[in-house]
Structure 1
Amino acid sequence: MTVGAPASPEKSRPSIFWPLAAIVIPLVGLLARIELRGSENLPRRGAFVLAPNHHSEIDPLIVAIATWRAGRAPRFLAKESLFRIPVVGWVLKASGMVPVARSRGAAAQALAQAKELASSERGVIVYPEGTLTRDPGLWPMRGKSGAIRLALAGDIPLIPLAQWGTQAVMPRYGKLSLLPLRKPITVLIGEPLDVSDLRGRTDQAAIQEGTERLMAAITALLEELRGEKAPPERWDPTQHGQAETGKL
């Protein structure tokens, strides 16, 4: 966050995120020392789609804390069925999480979600890989279309994010590692992706092009954090006999 910048409306107004942050941030702070870079790239107001890489099951918690520290409320896409569970559904609705209905078409659902985000001036966090990366070196793998569809449907800023270090706290499909305490994790928020030439398009070619640009931007940020180059070819689970859901 820029020094001296006024607090965003989401952090200045009381909300369910205040007590959650008061409980979660100190607890996570025992396990990890989070360094946040590029917070000025997250809009202070208005809708946005934040697209992170994903290589540990603890990633959403770290990204949520980073988003809150950058001045915005962390909201994720959540299965529509979860909204019907007592207590859980109330929390999801109260925190403004975005429901995903499996029965609706991708294009129609993206348009409805984008309209809701734009009208409420809320952001949403979407993992473009859809699951933990299958890449052996933990580099971003082939992306899916959810993030770019949302961004194009609502003319919403699409912002790449890379984080590195969560694998030391909880290895991919592994157990939580408590010691040593305060393991370093770095989160880098990139500049909004330029997809102006794809605005207004919903054809498959535009969706594929936008998705590839997004994955390339996330990979470049991760290369910066890791100080090394990613493999020249992005990992595709279908080419390696791997399922895209469930444990490896």
Structure 2
Amino acid sequence: MAELVYRPVVGIAQTFFKALDLKIDCKGSENIPRTGGAVLVSNHISYLDFVFNGLAALPQKRLVRFMAKESVFRHKISGPLMRGMKHIPVDRKQGEQAYAHALDSLRAGEIIGVFPEATISPSFTLKAFKTGAARLAQEAGVPLVPMAVWGTQRIWTKGRPRNFKRQHLPVTIRVGERVEAPKDQYAGAITRRLRERCQELLEAAQRAYPGRPKGPDDTWWLPAHLGGTAPTAAEVRAAEAR
């Protein structure tokens, strides 16, 4: 029943991206298993990251069930769609319910999409990873699949207006080799290895990205270490602490 909702939504998203003339460069989709459960793990820089993560799985004929904050499921438009596509609501006050739901889905052979940073990174660099993705993979006996997206922040990100203009923006997606999650290993160690792999993929996506700032007022989407004016990770942490 879910696919009666999911596949048309995918088609609408693809048509929308074509209308925007996005230049999507995706490599590594073959690393996503064609069958069986897996935890797809990505950086998080945009409200649309889950859509692009899902597109990366389509060549393998897989549909990803994403874990997303519960408020999205209460929205009058997105809520019915999210439920229809069998995405997983996460109530941070009752996270054990979402964890159990994701675990059941993995054991049933589904791919679960997780953003281990939990929130969008305003610095566009990797934040600390929570261990939930590794623990899910360990308990379900499935691999972790690291990936990275870049350029999505230019379309719609936290604190910026949506940019749905036809500007031919590039989006780069890189999917890496699977990271195993043995049950006899410490989840923190697996998480560190996973984060390192995502960092490598993010840097590869940034190197391959053809887009450049259009002027001095268009450097907001570049992290400080790449010459942009996005806040540094330290500045973000200080602002969050305040």
Same fold (TM over 0.5): yes
**What is the letter of the counterpart of residue 44 of structure 1?**
R
Among the aligned pairs, what percent are the same residue?
Answer: 29
Task: Quickly say closer, same or farther: Cα 1:179–1:158, change in 2 above 3 A.
Answer: same
After TM superposition, the structure 1 = structure 2 runs for residues 68-217 of structure 1, keeping only pairs within 5 Å, are 68-79=58-69, 90-104=80-94, 110=99, 112-135=100-123, 138-170=124-156, 172-196=158-182, 199-200=183-184, 206-217=186-197
Task: Give the deviation of 1:84 after TM superposition.
Answer: 6.9
Task: Quickly say closer, same or farther: Cα 1:26–1:85, change in 2 above 3 A.
Answer: closer
Distance 2:94 2:3 in 1: 34
Q: Does 1:220 align with 2:191?
A: no
Q: Does 1:241 align with 2:238?
A: yes
Residues 172-181 or 31-40, more deviating: 172-181
Q: Is the 8 A contact 2:149 2:174 kept in 1?
A: yes
Q: Is the 8 A contact 1:78 1:100 kept in 2?
A: yes
Q: Is the 8 A contact 2:41 2:113 kept in 1?
A: yes
Task: Quickly say closer, same or farther: Cα 1:59–1:119, change in 2 above 3 A.
Answer: closer
Distance 2:37 2:18 in 1: 28
Q: Mind listing any 5+ residue stretches in structure 2 that lack a counterpart?
A: 209-223, 226-231
SS where residue 107 of structure 2 aligns? helix
Give TM-score, length-normalised by structure 1. 0.74
SS where residue 34 of structure 2 aligns? coil
Task: Quickly say closer, same or farther: Cα 1:22–1:105, change in 2 above 3 A.
Answer: closer
Q: Mind listing any 5+ residue stretches in structure 1 that lack a counterpart?
A: 1-9
Task: Give the deviation of 1:117 after TM superposition.
Answer: 1.7
Q: Does 1:44 align with 2:15?
A: no
Q: Is the 8 A contact 2:103 2:136 kept in 1?
A: no
Task: Give the deviation of 1:184 after TM superposition.
Answer: 1.2
Give TM-score, length-normalised by structure 2. 0.76
Show CA shifts across 1:197-229 (max 9, x none): xx146xxxx23222211111100011112239x
Task: Give the deviation of 1:142 after TM superposition.
Answer: 1.2
